[in-house]
Amino acid sequence: MMVARDHLVRHPDRCTHNALCIPVCPTGAWLSTPPFKFDSSRCLEGCRLCLDACPSQAIYAVFRKGEKVLVPQGKK
pLDDT at 20: 86
Domains in the chain, start-ordered, CATH in brackets?
3-70 (3.30.70.20)
> What does the DSSP 8-state code read for residue 64?
E
Q: Write out pLDDT tens, residues 2-34.
A: 888 888 888 888 888 888 888 999 999 988 777
Quickly state the pLDDT bin for 53 (edges 50, 70, 90).
very high
Please, what's the largest Cα pairwise distance for the chain?
A: 38
pLDDT at 67: 86
Strand partners, 62: 7
Q: What angle do CA 23, 19, 35 make, to 5 degrees?
A: 120
Answer for the pair 43, 10: CB distance below 8 angstroms, yes or no.
Answer: no
